[in-house]
Structure 1
Amino acid sequence: MSWISQLKTSRPSLFWRTFLLLCGLLFFSVIGWLQSFRVLSELPYSQGVAQHIVSTVNLTKYALVTADPLYRVDLLKTLAAREGVLISPRDPTDKIFRISSEGYNGLIDQLVKTSLGPDTILATRVNGNDGLWVTFDIDGDTYWLQTKDDVLDPPYGTTWLWWALAAGIASLFGATLLARHVVQPLARLSAFAREISQGKKPEPLPEDATTAEIQAVNVSFNRMVEDLGHMEADRELLLAGVSHDLRTPITRLRLEVELADLPGDSREAMVSDLEQMENIVNQFLAYARRTNEDQVMVNFGEAVTAAIHNARIETDSSVELTASNLPDDIFVMAHPLELSRAIQNLIVNAQRYGRSDDGILRLSMTLTKSPDGRTATLAVADQGKGLPEDQRARVMRPFERGESARSGVTGSGLGLAIVDRIVKRSGGSVELADADPHGLLVLVNFPVLQPSTLKKALKEQDKAAQKLAKEEGLVPPPSMEDKKNS
């Protein structure tokens, strides 16, 4: 797994992090606002409710005291029918459920007792009957005044819920726009850097950004990419020139050695050295060469089979090849020639460094697909001496080799670097591990074309083949639709 994919799996994206932080900030802001509203409205609301209770008790008491005894019964009936106020005598055996002493109700209880006296009792249930019950005295006798208990409910209703829902939706929409506005330039910059790491040349970042900081970063990145391109071109020109100039004297020396009257052992040693020098020159050319062609759909299994055939290791008596599980339904985006070169480099690397103590190369090559079907992995394993873990990262760099004691064979140190460079251009990765029971295991991971992308690529391939056939005056090959119909 590459470092980019590791970062993706270990940490959430910046968009979701920013979005969730904004949502958390809005949530706690709303909670704080509601708490402030509750605290600020607690005293006025409690004073209003207490004043309502006190006024009801005083008016009822005054009406009963001043009313003609003959009309008190009618008065009580009228209060019960029109105002919902019931008057009943208090009995010492009454089962009382007092009002809560916390929050609004506790403050209401204190305010009512301040106006009607400390012996006043407020209850929400008496003898199993719910309501607002208040005690008052008339000529030394204690009575209950019962009314509806909805006056104790805060005046919120359900309207605030709809307003809160509307405000929440608007806040989420605003948080989404804000997070996208902040993260989008960074996401574009991340994609830009990822394409550069894959050896691609992306489109320049916009230098007319809305913020000065993003504009400065984009300008710096564009200049950096231009400088890297110039350095890459100079390096390719240098390597290509040196390699080309070395080929002529190497070829001349080899011809002179072949024609010279030398002992057989000396001739073979000199020819071997010259072949090694030529291989190093070829590696230089391969590393310096960079194609500008677009990547195309490649059958990974067929590419591996063709590379094995081109390497001619199937008929080599010093190689025991196990090439199993090479399916022909795995497609990747790559350059065909570069992919073949990468696979052959792995084989050559195993031939040089992966032989067992008896000189036999026991090579295993398998191609598998991940459980989610998104990644294809080519595993190339030998049974040589392997490679220490502390050297694996180093040998992936250009012109770096492992310990010479591993096999006694020297090279240019570009084999794995070329493989890594080619694979990264397709968005893949290369990993080195221990083989079982011993040796080196090279894992080449490629992103697999998904069905929708594969179908589109096949259609484009058919169109290109049809167009080429028409230009050459040949019979067009059958398209996918024709194959399906047949």
Structure 2
Amino acid sequence: MSWIAQLKNRRPSLFWRTFLLLCGLLFFSVIGWLQSFRVLSELPYSQGVAQHLVSTVNITKYALVTADPLYRLDLLKVLAAREGVLISPRDETDKVVRLSGEGFNGLIDQLVKTSLGPETIVATRVNGNNGLWVSFDIDGDAYWLQTKDDALDPPYGTAWLWWALAAGLASLFGATALTRHVIQPLARLSLFATQLGRGQDPDPLPEDASTAEIQAVNSSFNQMVSDLKRIEADRELLLAGVSHDLRTPITRLRLEVELADLPEDSRNAMVSDLEQMENIVNQFLAYARRSNEDQVMVNFGEAVEAALQIARIESDATVKLATRLDPEIWVMAHPLELSRAIQNLVTNAQRYGRSEDGTLYLTLELKREPDGRTALLTVSDEGKGLPAEERERVMRPFERGESARSGVTGSGLGLAIVDRIVRRSGGTVQLGDADPHGLLVRVRFPIVTKGALKKALKEQDKAAQKLEERR
């Protein structure tokens, strides 16, 4: 049921929302236009049909009255054969279905009665025979005039369908063009913000937009990005400078402690403090350092195994390691930064994820998510875990969890560095609860598609061949 929940939580894009609103507006406008056309054409059409009926009745009546009695039968046959007009006597016992009094028909009935008299009957069926029937009198004798009933239905034909189709296509094209024109600046702004959030350096937004509002937004956004870059550069410079300057006295103090004549316990405690200070300095440098290299295609499983080897986690007797890694997952990342992120997760587990017996039960699993487009790396331990209210806070720089839960302290940059590296590759980091207890870290990366993977492998093979040829 998870995909149903995701479908419910998914929001339509602004393009489709605006496009559908425009299509709905066009649809109801066309419906309103057709209704207006129908109302405006109702009176002229009804007058034309009524005038046709009245003229047919009057001409037929005059022809019968003035015709020679010997030729009346021939006249009736000619009217029936050529004009489709039948004359028959009317009787009181005739079963009559009168013309309905709604819309066109009601107006036709009213106009016919106005011209031929209020006693005139306009019917659609007489004695089970369909047609358009009109009653009239000749010298006191009652008759029916029957003609075709197709006059009651406006002869629209099929031409209007083609015109409606052409108008609909033109309207859809216009709605698409208008929607793209309105949404394109916002889509560019959204893409720019996404790239900026991933740590990339996108091109500035155009400040020569066609509208004053978009121009003002782009200019303000570019200025904001410029200010953020300057603040980021100043912070990186400050952290790098402070960290670099602290390395020398820390190294000197450690050397003096090692050479000094001190009790073993005091020396170990001081060395431990100095190692912790050096580790904090290293974390400062790692957080301040930004890779200028382009992202490359990396085998995620091999990167995890290499990071574990560098961390020497398997040689630690107090660590019980379990790994389940999919070997065929490729992502776009900076290899060194990806290794650093994995090592930080392992180090974080070593510090805070140990069980009560001092053993770290560490599990790393790498797999594809059901959508097939996302790689999921989970790092879990069986320690005390982290309260839900603190998870968002510890992802920020210089924030730590409760040190009392493990008795150790750090710089508060480990998870912040992981989050920063992962976001540069378009991924996400999420903290949760492990089963049965402990901390579970979920790291998601977009998977490189098979087409891009084949293309990259071919390019690598070509580059290797060229290198061999040069040698």
What TM-score, normalized to structure 1? 0.93
1:176 aligns with 2:172: no
Specify the code of the residue in structure 2 equivalent to 1:340. S
Which residue in 2 is equivalent to 1:72?
Answer: 72
- Residue 468 of structure 1 deviates from its aligned partner by 4.4
Could you tell me which residue of structure 1 aligns to residue 118 of structure 2? 118
- State the match for 1:347 in structure 2: 346
**CA distance in 2: counterparts of 1:413 and 1:97, whole angstroms:** 91
- Distance in 2, Cα, partners of 1:199 & 1:35: 56
What is aligned with 2:32? 32
CA deviation after TM superposition for structure 1 residue 306, in Å: 0.9
Identify unmatched segments of 5+ residues in structure 1: 1-5, 474-486
Provide the secondary structure at the position in 2 that maps to 1:307.
helix
Residues 323-370 of structure 1, C-alpha deviations (whole Å, 9 max, x = no match): 12x121100000000000000000000001111111111111000101
Tell me which residue corresponds to 2:398. Answer: 399
More off after superposition, 71-80 vs 361-370? 71-80
Q: Is residue 2:17 matched to residue 1:17?
A: yes
Query: 1: distance between equivalents of 2:76 and 2:331?
Result: 92
SS in 1 for 2:378: strand
Per-residue Cα deviation, 1:85-110 (whole angstroms, up to 9, x for no partner): 00011233333332222111111111
Deviation at 1:466, TM superposition (A): 3.6
- The 5 Å alignment of 1:92-171 reads 92-171=92-171
- Paired with 2:465 and 2:389, the residues of 1 have a C-alpha distance of 52
Q: Which residue of 2 aligns with 1:42?
A: 42
Give the counterpart letter for 1:27 in structure 2.
Answer: F
Matched, 1:276 2:257: no
| CA offsets 1:253-276 (integer angstroms, 9 cap, x no match) | 111111111111111111111111
Looking at structure 2, the residues matched to 199 and 85 of structure 1 have their Cα atoms a distance apart, in angstroms, of 86
Alpha-carbon distance in structure 2 between the residues aligned to 1:8 and 1:214: 32
Amino acid at match of 1:397: R
Whole-angstrom CA distance in 1 between matches of 2:468 and 2:292: 24
Give, in whole Å, the separation in 1 of the partners of 2:244 and 2:469: 39
- Aligned residue type for 1:11: R
For residue 467 of structure 1, report the CA deviation from its aligned partner.
Answer: 4.2
* Matched-pair identity in %: 80
- Note the 1:224-263 alignment, pairs <5 A: 224-263=224-263
Amino acid across the alignment from 2:151? V
2:125 is paired with a residue whose SS is: strand
Query: Are residues 42 and 166 of structure 1, via their aligned partners in 2, closer, same or farther at CA, if it must alter by over 3 Å?
Result: same
Range moving further from structure 2, 199-208 or 58-67? 58-67
Deviations 1:409-461 (A, max 9, x none): 11000000000000000000001111111111000000000111111221232
Query: SS of 2:464's equivalent?
Result: helix
Residues 389-398 or 134-143, more deviating: 134-143
Aligned to 1:57: 57
Partner of 1:417: 416
Comparing 86-95 with 173-182, greater Cα deviation is found at: 86-95
Q: Which 10-residue stretch deviates more, 148-157 or 460-469?
A: 460-469
* SS in structure 2 at match of 1:151: helix
Look up the match of 2:3: none
Paired residue type of 2:318: S
State the number of aligned residues: 466
Structural mapping, 1:449-468, within 5 Å: 449-468=448-467
The 5-angstrom pairing of residues 174-213 of structure 1 reads 174-213=174-213
CA distance in 2, matches of 1:221, 1:303: 37
Question: How far apart are residue 127 of structure 1 and its match?
Answer: 2.5
Counterpart of 2:383 in structure 1 is 384
* Structure 2 unaligned regions, length at least 5: 1-5
- Tell me, yes or no, if structure 1 residue 363 matches structure 2 residue 362: yes
Cα deviation, 1:36-60, whole Å, max 9, x if unaligned, reads 1111111111111111111111111
Aligned to 2:264: 264
Q: Which runs of structure 1 show a deviation greater than 3 angstroms over 4 or more consecutive aligned residues?
A: 6-9, 463-471
Q: Distance in 1 between matches of 2:23 and 2:149?
A: 38
**1:469: how far off?**
4.5
What is the alpha-carbon distance in structure 2 between the residues aligned to residue 212 and residue 162 of structure 1? 41
Residues 1:373 and 1:285: Cα distance change in structure 2 (over 3 Å): same
Q: Which residue number corresponds to residue 432 of structure 2?
A: 433
Q: Distance in 2 between matches of 1:459 and 1:93?
A: 94
Q: Secondary structure at the match of 2:44?
A: helix
How far the C-alpha of 1:463 sits from its partner, in A, is 3.3
CA distance in 2, matches of 1:202, 1:239: 25
Task: Name 1:478's counterpart in structure 2.
Answer: none
- Of 190-199 and 16-25, deviating more is 16-25
Per the TM alignment, residue 7 of structure 1 is displaced from its structure 2 partner at its CA by 12
- Rounded to whole Å, the distance in 1 between the matches of 2:432 and 2:54 is 85
Provide the C-alpha distance between the structure 1 equivalents of 2:206 and 2:454, rounded to a whole number of angstroms. Answer: 33
C-alpha distance in structure 1 between counterparts of 2:304 and 2:432, whole Å: 20
The 10-residue stretch of structure 1 (348-357 or 157-166) with the greater mean CA deviation from structure 2 = 157-166
Q: Given residue 309 of structure 1, which amino acid in structure 2 is its aligned partner?
A: Q
Decide which moves more: 404-413 or 272-281: 404-413
Partners of 1:111 and 1:230 in 2: how far apart? Answer: 84
Aligned mates of 1:88, 1:344 — CA distance in 2: 104
Stretch of structure 1 that moved more, 441-450 or 356-365: 356-365
